[in-house]
Amino acid sequence: MSKIAFIYPGQGAQVCGMGQDFYEQTKAGKETFDLASDILGFSVPELCFTENDRLDITEYTQAAMVTTSIAMTKVLEEQGVKPDVTAGLSLGEYCALYAAGVMSEKDAIATVRQRGILMQQAVPAGQGAMAAVLAMDAAAIEETIADIEGVQIANYNCPGQIVISGKKEAVETACEKLKEAGAKRTIMLNVSGPFHSRMLTGAGEKLGEVLEQVEVHTPQIPYVANVTAQYVTDAAEVKPLLTKQVSSSVRWEQSVRTMLADGVDTFVEIGPGKTLSGFMRKIDRTVKVLNIEKLDDVAKVVEELKEC
């Protein structure tokens, strides 16, 4: 029996025009974007579909991405496609919560707007940094940076691609040591903060206060939490994990392996870009990976899944 996972990309995948065809050509898509505009007090279609400098600013990016991915999910589910499990990378976890029936679309969009503001404000510009480390084993990276205070692994994306995060000087020092230790390349990332590092612990705690006002439900299907890379089936676990997630490592590769071990053999990436599909090719090339990025993709995915 084939198992389907819906997976959702995180911040960085955003692109001008994302979701526009869903907004203009589907009722569910339009309703989602219009609801987001009502909740947030500004035009989400304008944010997503017109050239502007706000789409790449964290406090706007997060709400835009979640709105877009939820709109796409609703249109796909209208075609009768339902996931058996779901997961999302960092910000994408909120889309997974929606798909799993844990959080309403209204609460998911409103919460990530606050999450984005808190993360944006957490660390003054220039004090933190992130860097990608290419072609080096995760265990070797952990060992190399263990004695450098102020830096940690932010993302276990896939074999050969790990992201580190923390204080700017510590990240720069770590990059030098990692290259000496055998990393093929280290690339400083153009980001507005040291996400998924201990420097954001305070932002996570403030998010926890926001989450106190949010209603969460028992998952209708399991979702995989970034913090533990394990299934969550109990509503009581949701808020503590989301609070920790802001300053904890995103265990994406481990999350995918949890789903693979559970028999998931079809992954549908829902949202702009094909970031997660690229990671999947490095984690396990044998599974089926499909994408929903444009409205035309929905019919293709429905057709592909009929053949499974």
pLDDT tens for 68-126 read 999 999 999 999 999 999 999 999 999 999 999 999 999 999 999 999 999 999 998 88
pLDDT for the residue 258 = 98
Share above pLDDT 70 across residues of the chain, in percent, rounded to a whole number: 99
pLDDT for the residue 7 = 98
- Which has the minimum average pLDDT: 188-192, 199-203, 216-220, 262-266? 188-192
Q: Which CATH architecture has domain 128-188?
A: 2-Layer Sandwich (3.30)
pLDDT tens for 123-142 read 988 899 999 999 999 999 99
CA distances from 26 to 75, 101, 224, 247, 296 (A): 7, 22, 29, 37, 12
Looking at 3.40.50.300, 1.20.120.160, 3.40.366.10, 3.30.499.10, the CATH number of the domain 3-122+198-306 comes to: 3.40.366.10
pLDDT for the residue 126 = 87
pLDDT tens for 56-67 read 999 999 999 999
CA nearest to 271, candidates 37, 73, 86, 43: 73
pLDDT for the residue 192 = 79
pLDDT for the residue 1 = 67
39, 106 Cβ separation under 8 angstroms: yes
pLDDT tens for 142-179 read 999 999 999 999 999 999 999 999 999 999 999 999 99
Does the model's pTM come out above 0.85?
A: yes
**Residue ranges of the domains in the chain?**
3-122+198-306, 128-188
CA nearest to 19, candidates 55, 58, 57: 55
Residue 267: phi and psi, rounded to 5, are -115, 130
* Residues assigned a catalytic role: 90, 196
